[in-house]
Amino acid sequence: MDEIAREGVCGLMDILAPGVRPGSDVAHLALLGYDPFVYYTGRGVFEAAGSGLKVGPNDVAFRCNFATVDENGVVVDRRAGRGTYGLDTLASLLDGLSLRGSPDIEVIFRATVGHRAALIFRGRGLSSKISDTDPGKVGMRSLESIPLDGSFEARKTASALNEFTKSAHELLKRHEINEERVKRGELPANFILSRGASVLPKLKSVSERYGFESSTCIAEVALVKGVAACVGIDIVDVPGSTGGLDTDVMAIGRAAVNSLKEKEFVFVNVKGCDVASHDKNIRGKIEMIEKIDGMVGYIRRQIDLKETIFVLTSDHSTPIEVADHSGDPVPIAIAGSPVRADDVDSFNERSVAKGGLGRIRALDLMPILLDLMGKARKFGA
Amino acid sequence: MDEIAREGVCGLMDILAPGVRPGSDVAHLALLGYDPFVYYTGRGVFEAAGSGLKVGPNDVAFRCNFATVDENGVVVDRRAGRGTYGLDTLASLLDGLSLRGSPDIEVIFRATVGHRAALIFRGRGLSSKISDTDPGKVGMRSLESIPLDGSFEARKTASALNEFTKSAHELLKRHEINEERVKRGELPANFILSRGASVLPKLKSVSERYGFESSTCIAEVALVKGVAACVGIDIVDVPGSTGGLDTDVMAIGRAAVNSLKEKEFVFVNVKGCDVASHDKNIRGKIEMIEKIDGMVGYIRRQIDLKETIFVLTSDHSTPIEVADHSGDPVPIAIAGSPVRADDVDSFNERSVAKGGLGRIRALDLMPILLDLMGKARKFGA
């Protein structure tokens, strides 16, 4: 990473604006040049798109958890103990569920990564202006979804989500998979908590917007893949990439190098540092940074900076001390001809602050990249 | 130039925004504090104004080339071989031309610098929403101008431009000047290619906007002079200033110092570095920078920084490697009391990146200057 800094131009980058804390979906929209204040419609649609579901223009998508409630309906674990045993089977039970109160709504449900799942309501006259059923903490019952505006569509969608939640609980609570989970010492996955109702934003693809002939996204989590999918970037799944600290970064690096042979734009996201930071696992974070350093070195040795622009950055800061996304700017280094290099020779938050990019914003990144790629149009004569 | 950096405050400046490539006209609008995204109407009007023509509110102005077409009308040289012999005479032939189809349109035509010319259509009911006749490359015929919207005005103006183009070719192709050009081994200037149809933008003058009592622009090319003229800055033509690598920079420096004795605001643009960069002439560029360094040193010794604010910057980057305007930020240094100086002691892209201005935008420059001049109004109490 220091080599990229040494060869290139460095700086600090605010993902949104100084002090504003971005989520990963919003951050990736901004990095790809789509202003989240204009285009962000919520998380659910990106989770769904990132899990391989096609989200249509009339769909409302939700981000769901398999969760555990007790006999009184009180949430005892929002992630069903994180055990994934049998979740695909349980998900197939809910996929295609008929809703008695809204027979015109098609229900699409899929288990994604870990305890997570994606839910889509498909049909006319739906709205994303409804509240979550996920209470966000344990010790209380799930919430009734309520319409957030006075529209018929919001009332209909909230009512459908409540019926789905109730029916799902009935189907799950006595299912043999959950009996087995308990026998295995796991918590039963007997409840679906939903949040982030959202519709597909109207996003032009990167090929329309930037003239990229081809593009690939190599990411580990559905949320990031979903953003890429929604802007028309091909998703490559890499065996061994887990999104955790045990991920195979070198497999990711090899996939990136292979993609670069065919694609004009390749976008890679490795999740581990964020995971370790959320868990205040400083040892794990350092090891993850070292692994990524190895991956960056591998990619660097495989490419020719006369032909390729290498951007090294992050989608947000997650300081160990905060254990959550912070509003700090992220370090960025850009190497490759015709970058105007600076004096910075190491890639870290302190040294890049003295670099030739100064302090930019994520929305500046694509224009800078297009300029370096010779794809920017001149304004004026 | 290093002395200005040492005495002053330095930084990087985006002419428009990071990565966005500016043309010279757009860049000068921004440097003078006029947002090009609001005010830019096209190149033609600045070329015309910069060649000394008065552009009126009902005029449509074009940037033209004397060009060479073969007997089939195919463009063989978009610049008539760059030979300027007889172009003034040929221009006077076209100036005042009557258009049979639009007898109410007054045609004003003037040769400017090199193979360039300015064309104005004057009259009521005209529109700039028409396409260029310049195909932008050789090997094809000139284009028919077509209306770009459904208005009567656009249809009328496009039709007038097509008639002008045809009549001009008839007048030029058999003219004795062109016979002489061919005898001299030059290409005949037998065609006029037009582009950049534009109307005068509604620009307040710098005296209205900033309260400057008097102002002067010393520039070499019509495009830059035109921007200055359109914001009410007096134009001073300096003998020996050519816009090329052979320009007399010291004559420009002396003219600047003389203007400063009488004028509150003096604006100087030297073109040579850009010309050398477009031609990938690195030796010429270095020599031009050295000449400008001498000019800056001369001006610096003639002025008192207690009384004068000296801004040293560029209207855009033209990296040799790119050979065209790039979206890189330009270096800027501002010296003169009461500037808050920084630690930077040399004027180049790397060192100014560590300066006290950080990374600003061209639209920030006039407010900073007005503040340093004691002419800025306080917002609030």
Q: What confidence tens digit (pLDDT) does each residue in A6-51 have?
A: 999 999 999 999 999 999 999 999 999 999 999 999 999 999 999 8
Burial of residue A378 (CB within 10 Å: 0-12, 13-18, 19+) is middle
What is residue A381's predicted lDDT score, i.e. its pLDDT?
Answer: 84
By the CB < 8 Å criterion, does B13 face chain A?
no
CA distance B283 to B289: 10
Helix B249-262 and helix B282-302: axis angle, to 10°? 30
CA distance B81 to B86: 13
By the CB < 8 Å criterion, does B25 face chain A?
yes
A136: left (phi over 0), alpha (psi -120 to 50) or beta: left
Helices (H), B105-232: 152-173, 176-183, 206-210, 222-230
User: In chain B, what residues touch A8 (CB-CB under 8 Å)?
Assistant: none
Q: Residue B214: name the closest of B194, B197, B246, B236 by CA.
A: B236
Find, in chain A, the residue whose alpha carbon is nearest to that of B45: A381
Opening angle at CA B225, ends B222 and B228, nearest 5: 150
What is residue B314's predicted lDDT score, i.e. its pLDDT?
Answer: 98
Question: Across the interface, which of B12, B21, B223 has its CB nearest the CB of A379?
Answer: B21
Q: What are phi and psi of B282, to 5 degrees?
A: -70, -40
Q: Please answer whether residues B161 and B130 qualify as being in contact, where contact means their C-beta atoms are separated by less than 8 angstroms.
A: yes
Q: Please answer whether residues B16 and B316 qualify as being in contact, where contact means their C-beta atoms are separated by less than 8 angstroms.
A: no
- pLDDT for residue B129 is more than 90: yes
CA distance A364 to chain B (A): 6
Contacts of B193 (CB under 8 A, 6+ apart): B64, B65, B67, B75, B78, B132, B133, B134, B135, B142
CA distances from A110 to A23, A52, A230, B172 (A): 23, 9, 18, 74
What average pLDDT score do residues A283-305 get?
Answer: 98
Find, in chain B, the residue whose alpha carbon is nearest to that of A355: B353
Find, in chain B, the residue whose alpha carbon is nearest to that of A337: B321
User: In chain B, what residues touch A355 (CB-CB under 8 Å)?
Assistant: 353
User: In chain A, what residues touch B27 (CB-CB under 8 Å)?
Assistant: 380
Q: How many CA within 13 A on the CB side of residue B114?
A: 18
- pLDDT for residue A82 is more than 90: no
Q: Which amino acid is at A152?
A: F
What is residue B1's predicted lDDT score, i.e. its pLDDT?
Answer: 98
Q: Does A381 contact B196 at a Cβ distance shorter than 8 Å?
A: yes
CA distance B235 to A137: 71
Q: Residue B295: name the closest of B247, B334, B348 by CA.
A: B247
Q: B243-269 in b/e burial notation, b at 16+ Cβ within 10 A? A: bebebbbeebbbbbebbbeebbbbbbb
Site from B21, B43, B330 to mutate, A interface, most A CB atoms within 10 angstroms: B21
Q: How confident is the model at residue B50 (pLDDT cuts 50, 70, 90)?
A: very high
Q: Please answer whether residues B144 and B133 qualify as being in contact, where contact means their C-beta atoms are separated by less than 8 angstroms.
A: yes
What is residue A113's predicted lDDT score, i.e. its pLDDT?
Answer: 82
Contacts of B127 (CB under 8 A, 6+ apart): B60, B147, B149, B151, B153, B154, B156, B157
Give pTM, 2 decimals.
0.89
Site from B326, B330, B360 to mutate, A interface, most A CB atoms within 10 angstroms: B326
Site from A334, A337, A363, A378 to mutate, B interface, most B CB atoms within 10 angstroms: A378
Q: Which amino acid is at A229?
A: A
What average pLDDT score do residues B308-321 get?
Answer: 97
Q: Which amino acid is at B368?
A: I
pLDDT tens for residues A182-228?
999 999 999 999 999 999 999 999 999 999 999 999 999 889 999 99
Q: Residue A331: name the closest of A362, A298, A288 by CA.
A: A362
pLDDT tens for residues B199-238?
999 999 999 999 999 999 999 988 999 999 999 999 999 9
What is residue B366's predicted lDDT score, i.e. its pLDDT?
Answer: 98
Opening angle at CA A328, ends A324 and A331, nearest 5: 110
Q: Does B23 contact A381 at a Cβ distance shorter than 8 Å?
A: yes
The DSSP secondary-structure symbol of B140 reads S
pLDDT tens for residues B61-112?
999 999 999 999 999 999 999 889 999 999 999 999 999 999 999 999 999 8
Q: How confident is the model at residue B113 (pLDDT cuts 50, 70, 90)?
A: confident
By the CB < 8 Å criterion, does A375 face chain B?
no
Q: How confident is the model at residue A102 (pLDDT cuts 50, 70, 90)?
A: very high
Find, in chain A, the residue whose alpha carbon is nearest to that of B195: A381
CA distance B350 to chain A (A): 6
Structure-token pair, residue A242: 């887990």
Q: How confident is the model at residue B341 (pLDDT cuts 50, 70, 90)?
A: very high
pLDDT tens for residues B358-371?
999 999 999 999 99
What is residue B380's predicted lDDT score, i.e. its pLDDT?
Answer: 92
CB atoms within 10 A of CB B287: 15
pLDDT, mean over chain B: 96
What is residue B181's predicted lDDT score, i.e. its pLDDT?
Answer: 96
Q: Which amino acid is at B33?
A: G
pLDDT tens for residues A104-158?
999 999 998 889 999 999 999 999 999 999 999 999 999 999 999 999 999 999 9
What is residue B381's predicted lDDT score, i.e. its pLDDT?
Answer: 86
Percentage above 70 pLDDT, chain B: 100
- pLDDT for residue B114 is more than 90: no
Enumerate residues 322 to 361 of chain A having a beta carbon within 8 A of any beta carbon in chain B.
337-338, 340, 342-343, 354-360
CA distances from A342 to A12, A354, B41, B295 (A): 13, 9, 36, 27
User: In chain B, what residues touch A378 (CB-CB under 8 Å)?
Assistant: 21-23, 324-325
User: In chain A, what residues touch B11 (CB-CB under 8 Å)?
Assistant: 358
Burial of residue A239 (CB within 10 Å: 0-12, 13-18, 19+) is exposed
By the CB < 8 Å criterion, does A378 face chain B?
yes
By the CB < 8 Å criterion, does B43 face chain A?
yes
Structure-token pair, residue B371: 């503040």
Q: Find residue A266's DSSP bridge partners.
A: A216
Find, in chain B, the residue whose alpha carbon is nearest to that of A381: B23
What is residue A109's predicted lDDT score, i.e. its pLDDT?
Answer: 96
Question: Across the interface, which of B12, B19, B43 has its CB nearest the CB of A381?
Answer: B43
The DSSP secondary-structure symbol of A145 reads P
Q: Tell whether ipTM is more than 0.95.
A: no
β-strands A191-198, A106-111 pairing: unpaired
Q: Does B358 contact A360 at a Cβ distance shorter than 8 Å?
A: no
- pLDDT for residue B145 is more than 90: yes
Q: Does B19 contact A369 at a Cβ distance shorter than 8 Å?
A: yes
Q: A190-209 in b/e burial notation, b at 16+ Cβ within 10 A? A: bbbbbbbbbbbbebeebbeb
Q: Does A378 contact B322 at a Cβ distance shorter than 8 Å?
A: no
Q: Does B19 contact A358 at a Cβ distance shorter than 8 Å?
A: no
User: In chain A, what residues touch B45 (CB-CB under 8 Å)?
Assistant: none
